[in-house]
Amino acid sequence: MKIIVCIKQVPGTSKVQVDPVTGVLIRDGIDTKMNPYDLFALETALRLKEEYGGHVKVISMGPPQAMEVIKEAFMMGADDGLLVSDRKFAGADVLATSYTLSQGIRKMGNFNLIITGKQTTDGDTAQVGPEIAEYLQIPHIANVLKILEVTDNDITVEMDMPETIEIAKVKFPCLLSVEKDIFQPRLPSFKRKIKTKDKEIKVICLNDMEDKNEKKYGLSGSPTQVERIFPPDENADKEIWEGTGEELADKITKKLKELKFI
């Protein structure tokens, strides 16, 4: 089975704030990591490979530094990696990102299955997977909880729906976005780290794509625009209480009584 997994490098911390005076974004440190939800996608792919054979390729879009997450994927057992990187991709929203990734995937050869994580921790939209599937004109299933059966032609999964759990069979090629905890992700292996230290990561840019129309990528290819960013509203009529544990507990009790919760 040929599997492609989409991974993304995200900030290691979510402590991003806006300075209320200057309006400047403050990001503590510059550490980055693989989007935690992608670990479940990669683990799912590796388990399928172990059981049914084949290979696992990963793709990521981002600045050259994003190669780090591809190396991490190698340490977990991915066979191949592709980085899609070009400054012309800057400012991409969901649509432009999905289009860029779908163009990148077209350069990766045949596949049966694409697996993505549920969402990223920096965008939190959970939209890129389904949009990639639309661009590649393949079906997708989101919120996959379990893989039940795999045959040569299709895969049967359990998916989470608003009120129900559904079992669905979907034909290859298709895209699945998997829930957290579908499988426990393995740790990167030191042995593999040594072995894949010099492994080549292919990097492609806009000129390598089938569609070289600049207007479909980056900011130009993004229908949504961020008009402004601002710190969240403060609650104006708030009270702040200080004191010993006992005093505070009494004060809370009194207030809860007053509000008729007790």
Partner 1 sequence: MGKLLVHQDLVNDETANKLIKLCPFGAIEYKDGKLEINAGCKMCRICIKKGPKGVIEFVEEQTTKVDKSAYKGIAVYVDHVEGRIHPVTFELIGKAKELAKKVNYPVYCIFPGFQILDSAEELLHYGADEVFIYDYVELEHFRIEPYTAVFEDFINNKKPSIILIGATTIGRSLAPRVAARFRTGLTADCTVLDIKENSDLVQIRPAFGGNIMAQIVTPNSRPQLATVRYKIMNAPERTEEVSGKITVCSMDTNKFKSNVDVIKITKKEIEGNISESEIIVVAGRAIKTKKDMSLAYELAEVLGGNFAGTRPMVEAGWIDAKKQIGLSGRTVKPKLIITLGVSGAVQFTAGMKSADYIFAINKDPKAAIFSVAHYGIIGDIYEIVPKLIENIKNEKGLTGELPKYAAPSTRN
Query: Cα 160 to chain center, whole Å?
Result: 18
Closer residue to partner 1 in complex, CB, 121/189: 121
The residues in 107-146 that bind partner 1, with binding defined as CB under 8 A, are 118-131, 133-135, 138-143
Residue partners of 251: CB distance under 8 A and separation at least 6: 241, 243
Piece in contact with partner 1 (CB under 8 A), picked from 47-55, 108-116, 189-197, 249-257: 249-257
Given 51, 52, 106, 161, the residue binding partner 1 (CB under 8 A): 161
> Looking at 146, 156, 199, 203, which residue binds partner 1 (CB under 8 A)?
156
Would you give the binding string for partner 1 spanning residues 74-113, x where CB under 8 A is met? Answer: -----------xxx-xxxxxxx--x---------------
Residue 261 in tokens: 């919760």
Contact 150, 48 (CB under 8 A): yes
Return the residues of window 9-48 that contact partner 1 according to CB under 8 A. Answer: 10-11, 14-18, 22-27, 30, 36
Burial class (CB in 10 A: 0-12, 13-18, 19+), 9: buried
Which window, 51-59, 71-79, 164-172, 190-198, contacts partner 1 (CB under 8 A)?
A: 164-172
By beta-carbon proximity to partner 1, the closer residue of 36 and 192 is 36
Among 21, 110, 164, 191, binds partner 1 (CB under 8 A): 164
Cα torsion through 51, 57, 63, 66, rounded to 10: 30
**C-beta of residue 29 within 8 angstroms of C-beta of residue 81:** no
Give min distance, CB of 195 to partner 1, in A.
29
Residues 6+ apart with CB under 8 A from 226: none
The answer to the question of residue 62 lying near partner 1 (CB under 8 A) is yes
CB 126 within 8 A of CB 118: yes
Q: Report the nearest approach of partner 1 to the CB of residue 157 (Å).
A: 10
218 binds partner 1 (CB under 8 A): yes
CA angle 67, 79, 138 (to 5 degrees): 90
Per CB under 8 A, does 241 bind partner 1?
Answer: yes
Q: Judge contact between 200 and 93, C-beta under 8 A.
A: no
Residue 188 interacting with partner 1 (CB under 8 A): no
